[in-house]
Amino acid sequence: MIEYIYGELTELSPTLAVVEAAGVGYAINITLTTFTQLSGKERGTDNSGNIAKHGEQVRLYCTEIIREDTHEMYGFPTKGERALFEMLMTVSGIGGNTARLILSAFAANDVRQIIATANVKALSSIKGLGPKTAQRIIVDLKDKVLKVDLGTPAGVLTFEEEPEVPDSEVKTEAVSALTMLGFAAAASAKVADKILKQEPNATVEQVIRQALKLL
């Protein structure tokens, strides 16, 4: 079993990171929150605010899902977020992609708080869950979720402003991510257009988060 992968981040999208380690490129499924943290590294700054060198090294803690018909790997910046992801998958009917949807619609700390406070409305706002599934998650995990220590990702910065990106690029990247998450391309594009019309300066992350609650 792979505990973590440490290597050079060579490709990045809102749903997938490719990390090269020892000459092997690993395609790792990621959440939207992880994408935001990794894209902060790609923008070229380190913890001290200095310009980072080309070929930024990243570490992702991994969960592998191996079945007869699939072999998937999911990566997270902390052991705590991975633990929350794996905890979500212990609930009947929640697989890797659904757990990733939950951790993409809300930040990990918010997911933990939503479950702990039995906020069915917030949880069921995520496409595909519904009140019954949300209630099942809360019943199964309410007494466990606060024990997960999410910590703070090492080497990750919080940026006050996102770089300016043309709307067309934001839409393209958002639609691509939503399609990879299982939503129809046409519906994703329509929702993205609606969001960007209302909020022309929305970032990719903001468009995806809102779309997950509208699709």
- Residue 58 sits in a domain whose CATH number is 2.40.50.140
Q: Look at residue 139 and tell me if it is in a domain.
A: yes
Domain end: 24, 53, 77, which one?
77
Q: Look at residue 162 and tell me if it is in a domain.
A: no
| Same-domain pairing of 63 and 83 | no
Q: Look at residue 51 and tell me if it is in a domain.
A: yes
- Residue 113 sits in a domain whose CATH number is 1.10.150.20
- Beta strand 4-12 pairing with 57-67: antiparallel
Q: Look at residue 159 and tell me if it is in a domain.
A: no
Q: Looking up tokens 């779309």, which residue turns up?
A: 211
| Same-domain pairing of 15 and 68 | yes
Q: Look at residue 15 and tell me if it is in a domain.
A: yes
Residue 55: per-residue pLDDT:
64
Domain end: 77, 93, 128, which one?
77
187: containing domain: 167-214
Residue 133: per-residue pLDDT:
92
Q: Look at residue 194 and tell me if it is in a domain.
A: yes
| Same-domain pairing of 181 and 143 | no
| Same-domain pairing of 72 and 126 | no
Q: Look at residue 1 and tell me if it is in a domain.
A: yes
Domain end: 77, 96, 125, which one?
77
- Beta strand 16-21 pairing with 4-12: antiparallel
Residue 168: per-residue pLDDT:
63
- Residue 209 sits in a domain whose CATH number is 1.10.8.10
Q: Look at residue 160 and tell me if it is in a domain.
A: no
Q: Give the pLDDT of the chain (215 residues) as one tens digit per residue.
A: 889 999 999 999 889 999 999 999 999 999 988 988 888 754 444 433 333 233 689 999 999 998 878 789 999 999 999 999 999 999 998 999 999 999 998 888 899 999 999 999 889 888 778 889 999 999 999 999 988 888 644 333 232 333 333 446 888 888 888 888 878 777 788 888 888 888 888 888 888 888 888 87
